[in-house]
């Protein structure tokens, strides 16, 4: 059986504008990014002569909205693009870019109008900082949002009840071409020892998928007169906030304290297995996660893959991973450490593509999560509502 064609929908409170989208995740292939497309349905009576606009925004939030200090918000708009959808500025057929749009327009009738955005190639992917259990409000995150609203003009004051906002994600999947399996080795000389200590750590491959165990091969050749008292291995997430500080934060997301020792003149060859999972780090604040929608679960943030030549300063948060192998060396004056860092990538596999021609003609409509839009005129306690098929033409 062909897969169902799921369409995500949301309608503003006064029902003047509704948004329909065929997907919420848009893939960054490094050299290109999938465009954002959808359909707007308008109610001309509810509009009362107002125009309809759609915006695509990318925002880096590094503090709650209620933490603004001296008028300076803890958020920065990395990208904003606006399109006028109604009255249309071009023939409706010329605005159709995908088969999903064409099918939606046929189903939704003459009050439906297409919209289309192309991502610039220098925007970050959707990520978020895991908050502490007692944190409230919006978290530190890179967020993407489609917002449709009706107003007299693009710059006019926008009423909340005439606005509908939908969170979307920009994601990356593991590339098809994988690099060499990473391997790092080090030779350490000691005072009062004629021969050195040699350590090598390697992985089976460069890219691991979320939830996949990571096997670490460790080879220790101890020709020195020192004793290795312990070997500790960890997976560390390195997040670099490049937008405003360029600070790097290292968070351990899995660790194994092996207790293995290597006496002077001995060798050790052993495989260790690490498994970095969000499930084991739920209470740890400061870990970077992949962006999520609605109340869906998420995972540790995927490794960032950056297009060559792109300025890193606009990428918000860059995420990388490494396996750290630490040897504790005993000595008369106390213990010392030797460390190796083996970089690797943690990502999702590329999903199997489904051709639009294989999709069933039947569309399954799914409501977006309600969202509360602050800072707009006509604020009240209710947020935007998902109106189901209220604005869609009834099936005959």
Looking at the structure, do residues 128 and 196 belong to the same domain, yes or no? no
Is the Cβ–Cβ distance between 123 and 170 less than 8 Å? yes
**CATH number, residue 35:** 2.60.40.840
Looking at the structure, do residues 160 and 195 belong to the same domain, yes or no? no
Q: If pLDDT is split at 50, 70 and 90, which confidence band does 339 have?
A: very high
Q: Which of 46-55, 89-98, 211-220, 299-308 has the lowest mean pLDDT?
A: 89-98
SS3 content of the chain, % helix, strand, coil (to 5): 10, 45, 45
- The boundaries of the domain holding residue 136 are 4-172+351-367
376: in domain? no
Looking at the structure, do residues 263 and 324 belong to the same domain, yes or no? yes
Looking at the structure, do residues 41 and 60 belong to the same domain, yes or no? yes
Residue 312 has pLDDT above 50, yes or no: yes
Q: Which of 395, 256, 276 is nearest to 346 (CA)?
A: 276
DSSP 333: T
Show the tokens assigned to 70: 């001296």
The pTM is what? Answer: 0.80
**CATH number, residue 202:** 2.60.40.640
Residue 321 has pLDDT above 60, yes or no: yes
pLDDT tens-digit profile of 105-129? 888 888 899 998 988 877 888 998 8
Per-residue confidence (pLDDT) for residue 393, from 0 to 100: 46
Average pLDDT in the 242-257 region? 83
321: in domain? yes
**DSSP letters spanning 311-326:** -GGGSSEEEEEEEEEE
Average pLDDT in the 227-235 region? 95
pLDDT tens-digit profile of 179-189? 899 999 999 99
In whole angstroms, what is the distance from residue 363 CA to residue 391 CA?
Answer: 15
Backbone φ/ψ region at 192: left (φ over 0), alpha (ψ -120 to 50), beta: left
In whole angstroms, what is the distance from residue 87 CA to residue 104 CA?
Answer: 19
Number of structural domains found in the chain = 2
Which position has the token pair 């979320």? 210
Per-residue confidence (pLDDT) for residue 371, from 0 to 100: 40
Is the Cβ–Cβ distance between 38 and 114 less than 8 Å? yes
382: in domain? no
Per-residue confidence (pLDDT) for residue 380, from 0 to 100: 40
Average pLDDT in the 211-224 region? 95
372: in domain? no
Is the Cβ–Cβ distance between 145 and 165 less than 8 Å? yes
In whole angstroms, what is the distance from residue 200 CA to residue 280 CA?
Answer: 28
Is the Cβ–Cβ distance between 302 and 210 less than 8 Å? yes
User: What percent of the chain stands above pLDDT 70?
Assistant: 77
Q: If pLDDT is split at 50, 70 and 90, which confidence band does 262 have?
A: very high
19: in domain? yes
Enclosing H/E stretch for 107: helix 99-108
Looking at the structure, do residues 203 and 215 belong to the same domain, yes or no? yes
Looking at the structure, do residues 147 and 225 belong to the same domain, yes or no? no
Looking at the structure, do residues 161 and 149 belong to the same domain, yes or no? yes
Looking at the structure, do residues 314 and 240 belong to the same domain, yes or no? yes
State the chain's maximal CA–CA distance in angstroms: 91
Residues paired with 162 in a beta bridge: none
Looking at the structure, do residues 362 and 256 belong to the same domain, yes or no? no
Enclosing H/E stretch for 81: strand 75-86
Measured distance between the N- and C-terminal CA atoms of the chain, rounded to whole angstroms: 25
Show the tokens assigned to 229: 């008292």
Q: Which of 80-89, 284-293, 302-311 has the lowest mean pLDDT?
A: 302-311
Per-residue confidence (pLDDT) for residue 134, from 0 to 100: 65
387: in domain? no
Residue 360 has pLDDT above 70, yes or no: no
Residue 170, CA atoms < 13 Å, CB-side half-sphere: 31
Per-residue confidence (pLDDT) for residue 255, from 0 to 100: 95
Looking at the structure, do residues 32 and 144 belong to the same domain, yes or no? yes
Q: If pLDDT is split at 50, 70 and 90, which confidence band does 64 have?
A: low
Residue 13 has pLDDT above 80, yes or no: yes
177: in domain? no
Enclosing H/E stretch for 235: strand 227-241
Q: Which of 149, 95, 220 is nearest to 378 (CA)?
A: 149
Work out the burial of residue 367: count CB atoms within 10 Å of its CB; fewer than 13 is exposed, 13-18 middle, 19 or more buried.
Answer: middle
Sign of the torsion angle spanned by Cα atoms 102, 103, 106, 110: negative
Q: If pLDDT is split at 50, 70 and 90, which confidence band does 223 have?
A: very high
Is the Cβ–Cβ distance between 335 and 329 less than 8 Å? yes
Show the tokens assigned to 88: 């249309």
In whole angstroms, what is the distance from residue 314 CA to residue 396 CA?
Answer: 50
Enclosing H/E stretch for 251: strand 247-257
Looking at the structure, do residues 15 and 75 belong to the same domain, yes or no? yes
Residues 6+ apart with CB under 8 A from 357: 99
386: in domain? no
Looking at the structure, do residues 21 and 136 belong to the same domain, yes or no? yes
Q: Which of 260, 235, 387, 197 is nearest to 324 (CA)?
A: 235
Output 298 or 57, whichever has higher pLDDT. 57
Residue 163 has pLDDT above 80, yes or no: yes
């Amino acid at each position: 059986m062909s897969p169902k064609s799921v369409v995500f929908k949301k309608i503003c409170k006064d029902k003047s504008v509704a948004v329909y989208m065929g997907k919420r995740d848009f893939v960054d292939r490094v050299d290109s990014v999938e465009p954002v497309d959808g359909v707007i349905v308008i109610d001309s009576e509810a509009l009362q002569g107002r125009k309809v606009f759609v915006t695509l925004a990318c925002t880096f939030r590094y503090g709650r909205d209620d933490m603004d200090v001296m008028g300076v918000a803890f958020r920065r708009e990395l990208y904003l693009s606006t399109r006028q959808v109604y009255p249309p500025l071009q023939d409706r057929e010329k605005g159709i870019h995908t088969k999903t749009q064409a099918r939606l327009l046929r189903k939704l009738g003459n009050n439906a109008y297409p919209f289309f955005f192309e991502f610039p190639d220098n925007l970050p992917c959707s990520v978020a900082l895991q908050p502490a259990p007692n944190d409230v409000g919006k978290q530190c995150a890179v967020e993407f949002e489609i917002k449709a609203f009706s107003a007299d003009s693009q710059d006019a004051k926008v009423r909340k009840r005439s606005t509908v906002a939908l969170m979307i994600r920009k994601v990356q999947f593991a590339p098809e071409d994988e690099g060499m399996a990473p391997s790092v080795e080090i030779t350490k000389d000691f005072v009062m020892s004629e021969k050195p200590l040699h350590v090598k750590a390697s992985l089976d491959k460069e890219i691991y998928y979320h939830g996949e165990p990571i096997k670490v091969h460790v080879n220790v050749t101890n020709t020195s007169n020192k004793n290795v008292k312990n070997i500790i291995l960890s997976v560390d997430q390195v997040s670099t906030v490049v937008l405003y500080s360029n600070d790097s934060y290292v968070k351990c997301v899995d660790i194994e304290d092996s207790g293995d020792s290597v006496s002077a003149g001995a060798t050790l060859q052993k495989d260790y297995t690490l498994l970095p999972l969000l499930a084991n780090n739920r209470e740890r604040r400061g870990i970077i996660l992949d962006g999520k929608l609605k109340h869906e679960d998420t995972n540790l943030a995927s490794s960032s893959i950056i297009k060559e030549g792109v300025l890193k300063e606009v990428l918000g948060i860059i995420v990388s991973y490494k396996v750290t192998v630490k040897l504790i060396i005993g000595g008369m004056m106390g213990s010392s450490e030797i460390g190796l860092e083996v970089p690797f990538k943690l990502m999702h596999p590329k999903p199997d593509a489904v051709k639009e021609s294989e999709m069933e003609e039947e569309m399954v409509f799914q409501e977006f999560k309600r969202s509360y839009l602050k800072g707009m005129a006509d604020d009240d306690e209710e947020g935007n509502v998902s109106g189901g098929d209220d604005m869609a033409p009834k099936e005959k």
